[in-house]
């Protein structure tokens, strides 16, 4: 599905471009993991539809599932709303020629059917994407990598840098002196550096050309930092003899120099205007700031995931909830693990979209605490242990005993609106890898009011990017 078609997608309808994919989505989308999705048991246990203490859990689960399904429906039902299986994955399981023949045959059959018959057939085949009760169609978004043929989207994912990276260059005062005799430069450099090393300012060069072309001397030397009680000092006060022989130096003067090494090219350009500065460029940061970090294919994938989050926000709005949607994706596999939206209300004020999505990921891992059954657009996919996890292998700290990653370890969150401080801290705790958001928020904690993702005093940090589908996201939940 091209992003243009997706942009025109109307919630509650299956976009026409997705019909070919629906033709092969008839495979029952059952559990892909041998693990029992404990979220099912949990949500059933706490569901208002299931009386507590009535029968054993297993019977309750089966009973609830059967009650929730229309007859003939073999979908998992609303208690286990699996994220749609990627069409690409389904295609890969068939021989290409057989698959093409099957699709052509089914498409031909569809063409011969009347409109009403065709709609019924498509509807019955897409039941796994539809809520049986409400008829809500999930958006058709390729969960594998996006198609490289997609047009570049009219948005830019810009990194939200840390305060250290994005702040102005901090300056401190230092003493410098003109080098009146250039032949003494090498000796002076050695002696002054030995007496006044600058371990916290390794980025500062010791010698610079004179800033005033009319000066008789060509070079100036940095002597030492000035400290808080800076004032006029003589060479004798600054350079103890005999450690430093001051011959060749002129009268010292005060000069502002950069206090810390520059972290971005912009900071470097600003710093070097004050004093010559070394710069070890982080090329990834430079590329990100220039909007060149992601390939066209990566941008198409990001576009699709954010479209899904927009769809979830629209579902929330249609139910009278705040229009904020979010998606959690495993970037290693491309799987969408959770789709959620803001569910907050008077009784549950903490159910922001991020909190909902983190809990949905946990439910996919057999945990989770929230009862999200009343919100059919909120769904999760059962987690599967990464293939690298083998019996006897060394378990990483970010994995649990069952080999599953700790909540959101290694995962990406796509959310239509910048998360608040509570959600940002929840993302820190859940060990998320990257967060992409569309629209900034006045109380946002990933760039606007705080930069929680990059705080050096927290035990986990993650990357944050803003601006993905920003125009669409801004329209969802405009600021008052």
Residues near Zn ion (CB under 5 A): 352, 420, 423
CB 457 → Zn ion: shortest distance, Å? 21
The smaller minimum CB distance to Zn ion, of residues 335 and 352, is found at 352
Best CA proximity match to 476, nearest among 418, 398, 428, 393: 418
Best CA proximity match to 423, nearest among 448, 453, 400, 379: 453
- Reading phi first (left if > 0) and then psi (alpha if -120 to 50, else beta), residue 219 is in beta
User: Facing residues of 340 across strands?
Assistant: 326
CB 131 → Zn ion: shortest distance, Å? 25
**Angle, vertex CA 118, rays to CA 112 and CA 119, nearest 5:** 165
CB 415 → Zn ion: shortest distance, Å? 9
CB 426 → Zn ion: shortest distance, Å? 8
**Angle, vertex CA 212, rays to CA 211 and CA 218, nearest 5:** 75
**Angle, vertex CA 453, rays to CA 340 and CA 200, nearest 5:** 170
CB 441 → Zn ion: shortest distance, Å? 9
CB 419 → Zn ion: shortest distance, Å? 5
CB 81 → Zn ion: shortest distance, Å? 23
The smaller minimum CB distance to Zn ion, of residues 6 and 328, is found at 328
The smaller minimum CB distance to Zn ion, of residues 157 and 324, is found at 324
DSSP 452: G
Q: Are 370 and 345 in contact (CB under 8 A)?
A: no
Whole-angstrom distance, CA of residue 228 vs CA of residue 231: 9
Whole-angstrom distance, CA of residue 49 vs CA of residue 67: 10
Whole-angstrom distance, CA of residue 436 vs CA of residue 418: 9
Whole-angstrom distance, CA of residue 371 vs CA of residue 254: 65
The smaller minimum CB distance to Zn ion, of residues 328 and 420, is found at 420
257-to-150, 201, 224, 262, 369 alpha-carbon distances in Å:
48, 10, 11, 12, 53
The smaller minimum CB distance to Zn ion, of residues 358 and 469, is found at 358
The tokens of 90 are what?
Answer: 């389904």
* Contact partners, residue 423, CB within 8 Å, separation at least 6: 352, 353, 354, 355, 445
- Scanning 244-282, the segments in alpha helix (DSSP H) are 265-272
Q: How many CA atoms lie within 13 A of 172 on its CB side?
A: 17
The smaller minimum CB distance to Zn ion, of residues 174 and 415, is found at 415
The smaller minimum CB distance to Zn ion, of residues 289 and 353, is found at 353
CB 344 → Zn ion: shortest distance, Å? 9
The tokens of 199 are what?
Answer: 């371990």
CB 12 → Zn ion: shortest distance, Å? 26
CB 30 → Zn ion: shortest distance, Å? 33
The smaller minimum CB distance to Zn ion, of residues 248 and 440, is found at 440
The smaller minimum CB distance to Zn ion, of residues 140 and 417, is found at 417
The smaller minimum CB distance to Zn ion, of residues 355 and 373, is found at 355
């Amino acid at each position: 599905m091209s992003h243009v078609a997706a942009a025109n997608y109307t919630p509650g309808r299956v976009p026409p471009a997705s019909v070919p994919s629906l033709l092969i989505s008839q495979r029952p989308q059952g559990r892909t993991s041998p693990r029992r999705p404990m979220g099912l048991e949990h949500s059933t246990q706490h569901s208002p539809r299931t009386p507590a203490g009535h029968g054993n859990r297993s019977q309750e689960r089966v009973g609830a599932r059967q009650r929730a399904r229309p007859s003939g429906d073999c979908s998992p039902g609303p208690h286990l709303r699996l994220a749609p299986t990627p069409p690409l994955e389904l295609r890969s399981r068939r021989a290409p020629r057989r698959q093409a023949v099957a699709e052509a045959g089914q498409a031909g059959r569809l063409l011969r059917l009347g409109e009403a018959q065709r709609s019924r057939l498509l509807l019955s085949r897409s039941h796994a994407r539809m809520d049986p009760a409400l008829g809500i169609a999930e958006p058709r978004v390729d969960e594998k990598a996006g198609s490289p043929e997609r047009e570049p989207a009219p948005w830019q994912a810009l990194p939200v840098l840390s305060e250290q990276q994005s702040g102005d260059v901090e300056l401190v005062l230092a003493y410098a002196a003109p080098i009146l005799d250039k032949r003494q430069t090498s000796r002076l450099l050695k002696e002054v550096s030995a007496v006044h090393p600058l371990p916290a300012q390794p980025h500062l060069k010791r010698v610079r050309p004179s800033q005033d072309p009319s000066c008789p001397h060509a070079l100036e030397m940095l002597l030492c930092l000035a400290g808080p009680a800076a004032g006029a000092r003589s060479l004798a006060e600054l350079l103890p003899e005999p450690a430093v022989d001051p011959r060749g130096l002129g009268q010292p003067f005060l000069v502002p120099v950069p206090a810390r090494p520059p972290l971005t090219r912009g900071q470097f350009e600003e710093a070097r205007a004050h004093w010559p500065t070394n710069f070890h460029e982080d090329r990834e940061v430079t590329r990100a700031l220039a909007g060149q970090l992601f390939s066209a294919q990566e941008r198409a994938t990001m576009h699709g995931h954010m479209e899904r989050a927009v769809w979830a926000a629209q579902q929330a709005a249609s139910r009278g909830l705040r229009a904020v949607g979010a998606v959690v994706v495993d970037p290693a596999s491309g799987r969408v693990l959770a789709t959620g939206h803001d569910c907050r209300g008077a009784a549950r004020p903490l159910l922001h979209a991020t909190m909902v999505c983190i809990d949905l990921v946990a439910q996919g891992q057999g945990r989770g605490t929230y009862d999200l059954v009343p919100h059919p657009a909120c769904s999760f996919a059962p987690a599967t242990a990464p293939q690298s996890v083998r019996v006897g292998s060394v378990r990483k700290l970010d994995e649990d005993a069952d080999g599953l990653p700790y909540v959101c370890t290694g995962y990406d969150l796509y959310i239509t609106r910048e998360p608040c401080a509570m959600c940002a801290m929840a993302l820190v705790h859940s060990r998320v890898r990257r967060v992409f958001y569309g629209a900034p928020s006045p109380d946002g904690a990933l760039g606007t009011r705080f930069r929680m993702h990059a705080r050096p005093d927290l035990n986990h940090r993650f990357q944050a990017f803003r601006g993905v589908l920003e125009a669409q996201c801004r329209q969802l939940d405009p600021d008052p």
